[in-house]
């Protein structure tokens, strides 16, 4: 049941998500990939911490489950944690959702540290794309098929995310669309919170492991942001059309919080600078990227554990 709740939430998220900003600036897709760096860096950090404090005793699967906090995506974190570290589902979920709501506090200092004032003032052209209805209907179907070929384990989450989006774009099932984005999402979030909360027994929750997960979750979000910003700066070295590096930070999945923060910071530097739509494009790409990252981890980790000898 724990695995079905995230899937239902994804129908709601899909119904809420508008992928048009991504169609207007398709290259934002790359930031959705770069901002997943924190996931993999955190897995290494967990394993490094294990070497320093062997009493923590994290296995590779548990390290992967903690790293996925960097997906900045509650449902994905729950799916991976429930398969790899059922006893850590409670702490991982609490930490993932806590840091998602703390994005406005975590991201700005990291962005400021990695960018200059001039870079934060870069303006970007936004061409309002006139996207046809059939394109928006074919998109969720095509993405589900492609995700099934590239990362089969992602089909549960990507498929339902795209099903929710299809309800939105089809335009002929308004009652289902409204139910998915309001009632379904709200009820399932409530039930999920209660179910996860019930797994947090005091003797398993009040431990040093929970504290370490709290610290590692912060590492994941910081390096997600850094990955996105530094990738944008790398692209700027080769590209004629400069990208405002802050947009890279919006590549995390926390939608729409991350894109709003980027816009607020851009406006603080230059009141005439509007990069909200580009940031929203990177943000929705991050939603796809985080699910793909989660499913790749689900697919590869058991194979690596076998290579390690069980």
Contacts to other proteins by CB under 8 A: 22-23, 26-27, 29-30, 32-33, 36-37, 39-41, 43-44, 47-48, 50-51, 60, 63-64, 129, 131-132, 134-135, 138-139, 142-143, 146-147, 150-151, 285, 288-289, 292-293, 296-297, 300-301, 304-305, 307-308
Distance CA 163, CA 137 (A): 10
Q: Which is nearer to other proteins, 102 or 129 (CB)?
A: 129
Q: Which residues, 6+ apart, have CB-to-CB distance to 115 below 8 Å?
A: 229, 233, 245, 246
3-class DSSP state of 138? helix
Q: What angle do CA 20, 118, 127 make, to 5 degrees?
A: 20
Instruction: Report the distance separating Cα 279 and Cα 1, nearest Å.
Output: 34
CB of 262 to other proteins, least distance (A): 19
Q: How far is the CB of 40 from other proteins (least distance, A)?
A: 4
Instruction: Kindly state the smallest distance separating residue 237's Cβ from other proteins, in Å.
Output: 18
Q: Given the complex with other proteins, which of 181 and 287 has the nearer CB atom?
A: 287
- Minimum CB distance to other proteins smaller for 124 or for 305: 305
Task: In angstroms, give the least distance from the CB of 119 to other proteins.
Answer: 23
- Compute the least distance from the CB of residue 34 to other proteins, in Å: 8
CA-based nearest residue to 66, from 306, 310, 297: 297
Measured over the CA atoms of residue 263, residue 268, residue 269 and residue 271, the dihedral's sign is positive
Would you say 271 or 310 has its CB closer to other proteins?
310
| Least distance (Å) between residue 79 CB and other proteins | 16
CB 222 within 8 A of CB 102: no
Please identify, using beta-carbon distances, which residue of 15 and 158 lies nearer to other proteins. Answer: 158
| Least distance to other proteins, CB of residue 290, Å | 9
Question: For other proteins, which is the closer residue by CB, 47 or 214?
Answer: 47
Ordered DSSP codes for 47-61: HHHHHH-GGG---HH
Cα–Cα nearest to 125, from 285, 6, 239, 219: 239
- Cα dihedral 145, 235, 35, 62 sign: positive
11 or 288: whose CB is closer to other proteins? Answer: 288
CB atoms within 10 A of CB 130: 7
Q: Judged by CB, which is closer to other proteins: 143, or 200?
A: 143
Gyration radius from the chain CA atoms:
19
Gap between the terminal Cα atoms of the chain: 27
Minimum Å gap between C-beta 156 and other proteins is 16
């Amino acid at each position: 049941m724990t695995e079905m709740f995230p899937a239902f939430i994804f129908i709601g998220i899909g119904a809420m998500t508008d992928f048009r900003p991504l169609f207007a600036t398709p290259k934002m897709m790359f930031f959705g990939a770069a901002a997943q760096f924190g996931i993999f860096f955190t897995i290494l950090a967990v394993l490094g911490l294990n070497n320093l404090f062997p009493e923590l005793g994290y296995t590779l699967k548990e390290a992967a489950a903690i790293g996925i906090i960097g997906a900045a995506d509650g449902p994905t974190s729950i799916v991976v944690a429930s398969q790899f570290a059922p006893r850590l589902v409670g702490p991982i979920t609490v930490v993932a959702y806590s840091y998602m709501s703390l994005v406005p506090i975590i991201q700005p200092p990291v962005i400021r540290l990695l960018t200059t004032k001039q870079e934060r003032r870069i303006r970007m052209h936004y061409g309002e794309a006139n996207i046809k209805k059939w394109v928006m209907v074919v998109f969720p179907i095509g993405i589900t098929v492609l995700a099934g070929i590239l990362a089969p384990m992602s089909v549960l989450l990507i498929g339902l995310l795209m099903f929710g989006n299809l309800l939105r774009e089809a335009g002929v099932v308004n009652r289902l669309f409204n139910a998915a984005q309001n009632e379904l999402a709200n009820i399932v979030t409530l039930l999920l919170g209660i179910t996860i909360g019930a797994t947090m027994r005091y003797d398993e929750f009040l431990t040093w492991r929970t504290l370490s997960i709290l610290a590692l979750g912060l590492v994941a979000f910081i390096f997600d942001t850094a990955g996105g910003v530094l990738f944008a700066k790398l692209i700027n070295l080769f590209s004629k059309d400069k990208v405002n590096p802050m947009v890279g930070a919006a590549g995390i999945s926390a939608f729409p919080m991350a894109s709003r923060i980027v816009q607020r910071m851009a406006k603080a530097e230059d009141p005439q600078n509007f990069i909200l739509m580009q940031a929203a494009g990177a943000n929705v790409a991050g939603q796809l990227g985080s699910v793909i990252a989660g499913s790749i981890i689900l697919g590869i980790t058991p194979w690596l554990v076998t290579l390690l000898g069980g």
